């Protein structure tokens, strides 16, 4: 049985799209940080945003919490100004809040990929629901 990757990541129009899966270990957080750096260093001379899909993510292991926070710290230090976090558990939100310095003006937490995209677009970014999230869109009740 094939094992899915702990994350998918790509950049389009100053938006870093990330899909997280499973439980993250210290090794996964190190790899994820290197990938964020590889994708965003060429673009960090201007503000950028992240679309973070946590619908299939559990959390980092206790040992990986520091590495997870380092990813957020690097992003903040390298001009990430906004984040739309798609999550289904309050613990996911709490983990991100503890790891980042974002506030309600610079971050939204939602269970709706469409709401995340609308929020990013309303804050000056050009975002769309990525393919790795589209299969979840129908599962989110509309308002």
**Domain harbouring 129, CATH code:** 3.30.750.24
Asked, for residue 2, whether it belongs to a domain, the answer is no
Q: Is residue 143 part of a domain?
A: no
- Per-residue pLDDT, averaged over 37-66, amounts to 92
Q: Between 61 and 101, whose confidence is greater?
A: 61
| Number of domains within the chain | 1
Provide the residue range defining the domain that includes 93. 7-137
Alpha-carbon gap, residue 125 to 6, rounded angstroms: 26
What is the longest distance spanned by two Cα atoms in the chain?
43
What are the C-alpha distances in Å from 7 to residues 17, 45, 57, 109?
10, 25, 9, 19
Flag the least confident range among 16-30, 87-101, 117-131. 87-101
The answer to whether residue 87 sits within a structural domain is yes
Is 35 in contact with 74 (CB distance < 8 Å)?
A: no
Domain assignment of residue 74, yes or no: yes
Greater confidence (21 vs 3) lies with: 21
Q: Is residue 92 part of a domain?
A: yes
**What's this model's pTM, rounded to 2 decimal places?**
0.86
Q: If pLDDT is split at 50, 70 and 90, which confidence band does 84 have? A: very high
The C-alpha atoms of residue 15 and residue 117 are separated, in whole angstroms, by 10
Q: Is residue 103 part of a domain?
A: yes
**112 contact partners, CB below 8 Å, separation of at least 6:** 86, 140
- Tell me if 53 is assigned to some domain: yes
Contact by Cβ (8 Å): 118, 110: no
- Say if 43 falls within a structural domain: yes
Element (H, E) at 31: helix 26-40
């Amino acid at each position: 049985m094939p094992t899915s990757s702990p994350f998918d990541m790509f950049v389009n129009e100053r938006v870093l799209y990330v899909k997280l899966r499973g439980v993250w270990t210290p090794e996964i957080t190190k790899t994820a940080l290197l990938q964020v750096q590889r994708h965003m260093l060429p673009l960090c001379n201007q503000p950028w945003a992240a679309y973070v899909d946590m619908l299939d993510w559990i959390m980092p292991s206790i040992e990986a919490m520091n590495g997870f926070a380092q990813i957020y710290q690097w992003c903040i230090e390298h001009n990430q100004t906004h984040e739309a976090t798609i999550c289904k558990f309050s613990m996911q939100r709490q983990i991100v809040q503890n790891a980042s310095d974002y506030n309600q003006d610079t971050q939204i937490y939602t269970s709706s990929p469409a709401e995340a995209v609308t929020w990013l677009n309303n804050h000056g970014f050009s975002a769309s629901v990525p393919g790795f999230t589209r299969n979840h869109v129908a599962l989110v009740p509309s308002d």
